């Protein structure tokens, strides 16, 4: 959702971010250390707890002195990408952000802006740990699907097959009609446990309070007077994507609605129950069973399941809108909310990771069979409509921690995450084979989506199809000492193209019209150029698209390479 879109809100916290369902509110920003609310902040609405910002925890005791175990060779963001990212910190929307982009054309690119901690002013890095929020659901879903792959459970199994002896679970309305697959795909109609103020308000009121699974489930049970959000009624004309239709039209669509559209509602309760099932089937604690199936098998050495607030991530989390979804800004400056006990999120949102580990995780899920074989992936890639709300109207949800949002620049698979002070995006644009990982240390407003929408069009609009082909060898030099190069225009057509070439990859990659020392340059109006080269040398080249007057006046091109014959 664009930051300028309508700010639709609920009166209870439901751990659902506008862009990435998880643990989030909405907000604006600035760039100074935290102080309690003063004259500039809005009043706390009636019915909400007081907005008191506590003392920030100290910076990480041991500064990061090594690279993440899964760090990959990379190049820095091209200039236009970096400027787009820098603007979010410069304008005070977030204290810091990290984005990693990986594709066959671009290789691995990393952009960072801002700081990990406003007190120490430590620069943010992809090697640093942060709270991933609801991306934790992907870790749990991969665990459940691997257990299914091993024959330890079925997606069609009733929940009560595993949790029937738990009186609290048995007391959840309509639980007897719900299967493991329904939990994975958010089609249960079970209410969100965060609607209970004692839990939903805890990050603000009692941030160090510990919860166990029973604490989270009992508020859903009939024994506690809970009622379901809606019965799990799968009749399409009654259950056409309610979240979007209700938000936009304040009511249900006319009947008959298109089918098939089972009832879909983003409820963290589904993934608490899945965590309980994982424990029951494996005989292990949630942190151990997820650790075995995902962290160990994937080699995610810097990722862990947080069970308390004692071990803090190196990237501190901040907010101006509070640690719960207040409907307005409540602090003048950034409030450090790093030290919140993550047990209130448990298997729905308690994982801590690094951007590098998330990239490895994403690669293993979508580009390999490290976790799921092809048969299991075919089950995972079964989608239902999940029109979340404005900005993400076209969205599907797969069989377990898998969103499929459609953007103007491509359709992705992955998940978003939010936890007080943090936002995460983990998306794989499967048609273009592009991985996108984002971490930012504020959960205010939907700035992470704005970053996605600012950077990805630049990634996907560059020139393509180079000739000589990328990494071509034995390219013939013409008698006049030149090689003719050509390319295909990208999604944005240029009125001209700037061609850069030379023997130093780093210099060519960072070259611009105003700064290209040691790099040759020519400007052409058609997608072809003749460039002067020597025999028996390796050259790097790129083409930037110039389109004055368009919404994107310049699109940086990827780095290509060829070697001439001796």
- Distances in Å between the Cα of 257 and the Cα atoms of 229, 384, 387, 427 are 21, 15, 14, 30
Of 221, 255, 277, which residue sits at a domain end? 277
The owner of tokens 């249960």 is 188
Neighbours of 473 (CB within 10 A): 12
For 497-544, the three-class secondary structure string (H helix, E strand, C coil) is: EEEEEECCHHHHHHCCCCCCCCCEEEEECCCEEEEECCCCCEEEEEEE
In a domain, 54, yes or no: no
Q: Is the peptide bond preceding residue 256 cis, with omega within 30 degrees of 0?
A: yes
Q: What is the CATH number of the domain that holds 164?
A: 3.40.710.10
The Cα–Cα gap between 247 and 9 comes to 9
Task: Give the model's pLDDT for residue 61.
Answer: 55
Task: Give the model's pLDDT for residue 251.
Answer: 58
Task: Give the model's pLDDT for residue 220.
Answer: 92
In a domain, 2, yes or no: no
Q: Would you state the structure tokens that stand for residue 233, as one six-digit string?
A: 């009624």
List Cβ neighbours of 207 (8 Å cut-off, separation of 6 or more): 54, 309, 323, 337, 339, 340, 341
Residue (of 341, 215, 346, 345) closest to 286 by Cα position: 346
Of 262, 277, 292, which residue sits at a domain end? 277
In a domain, 357, yes or no: no
In a domain, 511, yes or no: yes
In a domain, 441, yes or no: no
Task: Give the model's pLDDT for residue 248.
Answer: 57
In a domain, 185, yes or no: yes
Q: What is the CATH number of the domain that holds 551?
A: 2.60.40.10
In a domain, 401, yes or no: no
The Cα–Cα gap between 73 and 198 comes to 46
Average pLDDT, consecutive stretches of 10 residues, N- to C-terminus, the chain (566 residues):
29 35 35 39 87 85 71 97 98 98 98 96 96 98 98 98 96 90 89 91 94 95 69 41 55 47 77 98 98 98 92 95 90 95 98 98 98 98 74 82 93 96 98 97 94 97 96 96 98 96 98 96 98 98 96 96 96
Domain count, the chain: 2
Task: Give the model's pLDDT for residue 22.
Answer: 53
Of 277, 300, 317, which residue sits at a domain end? 277
In a domain, 5, yes or no: no
Domain that holds residue 200: 138-277
The owner of tokens 């190069």 is 485
Model's pTM, two decimal places? 0.90
Q: How many helices (H) and strands (E) does the chain have?
A: 18, 24
Is the distance from CB of 241 to CB of 265 less than 8 angstroms?
no
Task: Give the model's pLDDT for residue 35.
Answer: 38
């Amino acid at each position: 959702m664009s930051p300028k879109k309508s700010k639709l809100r609920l009166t209870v916290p439901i751990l659902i971010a506008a862009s990435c369902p998880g643990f989030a509110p909405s907000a604006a920003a600035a760039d100074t250390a935290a102080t309690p609310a003063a004259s500039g902040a809005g009043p706390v609405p009636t019915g909400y707890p007081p907005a008191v910002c506590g003392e920030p925890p100290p910076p990480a005791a041991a500064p990061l002195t090594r690279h993440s175990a899964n760090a990959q060779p990379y190049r820095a963001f091209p200039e236009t990408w970096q400027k787009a990212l820098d603007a979010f910190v410069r304008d005070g929307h977030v204290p810091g952000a990290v984005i990693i982009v990986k594709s066959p054309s671009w290789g691995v690119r990393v952009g960072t802006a801002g700081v990990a901690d406003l007190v120490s002013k430590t620069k943010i890095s992809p090697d640093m740990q942060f709270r991933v929020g609801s991306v934790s659901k992907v870790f749990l879903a991969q665990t459940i699907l691997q257990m299914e792959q091993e024959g330890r459970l079925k997606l069609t199994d009733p929940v009560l097959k595993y949790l029937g002896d738990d009186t609290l679970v048995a007391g959840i309305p309509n639980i007897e009609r719900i299967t493991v697959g329904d939990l994975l795909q958010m089609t249960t109609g079970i209410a969100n446990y965060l609607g209970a103020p004692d839990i939903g308000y805890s990050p603000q009121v009692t941030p160090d309070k510990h919860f166990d699974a029973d604490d989270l489930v009992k508020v859903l049970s009939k024994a506690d007077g809970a009622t379901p959000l809606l019965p799990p009624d799968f009749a399409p004309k009654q259950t056409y994507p309610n979240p979007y239709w209700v938000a936009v039209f304040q009511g249900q669509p006319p009947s008959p609605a298109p089918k098939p559209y089972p009832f879909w509602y983003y409820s963290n309760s589904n993934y608490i129950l899945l965590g309980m099932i994982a424990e029951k089937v494996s005989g292990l604690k949630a942190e151990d069973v997820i650790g075995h199936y995902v962290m160990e098998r994937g080699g995610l050495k810097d990722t862990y399941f947080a069970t308390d607030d004692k071990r803090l991530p190196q990237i501190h989390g901040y907010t101006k809108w509070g640690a719960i979804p207040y409907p307005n800004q409540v602090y003048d400056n950034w409030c450090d909310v790093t030290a919140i006990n993550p047990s209130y999120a448990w298997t729905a949102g308690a994982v801590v990771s690094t951007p590098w580990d998330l990239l490895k995780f994403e690669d293993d899920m979508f580009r390999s069979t490290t976790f799921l074989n092809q048969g299991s992936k075919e089950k995972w890639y079964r989608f239902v409509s999940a029109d979340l709300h404005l900005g993400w109207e076209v969205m599907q949800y797969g069989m377990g921690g898998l969103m499929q949002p459609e953007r103007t620049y491509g359709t992705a698979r992955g998940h978003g995450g939010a936890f007080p002070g943090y936002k995460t995006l983990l998306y794989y644009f499967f048609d273009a084979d592009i991985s996108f990982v984002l971490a930012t240390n504020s959960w205010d407003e939907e700035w992470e989506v704005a970053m996605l929408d600012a950077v990805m069009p630049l990634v996907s609009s560059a020139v393509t199809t180079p000739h000589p082909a990328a990494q071509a060898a034995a390219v013939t030099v013409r008698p006049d000492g030149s090689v003719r190069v050509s390319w295909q225009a990208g999604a944005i057509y240029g009125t001209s193209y700037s061609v850069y070439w030379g023997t130093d990859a780093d210099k060519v990659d960072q070259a611009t019209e105003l700064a290209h020392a040691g790099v040759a340059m020519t400007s052409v109006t058609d997608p072809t150029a003749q460039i002067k080269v020597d025999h028996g040398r390796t050259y790097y080249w790129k083409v930037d698209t110039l389109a004055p007057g368009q919404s994107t006046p310049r699109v940086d091109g990827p780095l290509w390479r060829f070697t001439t014959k001796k």
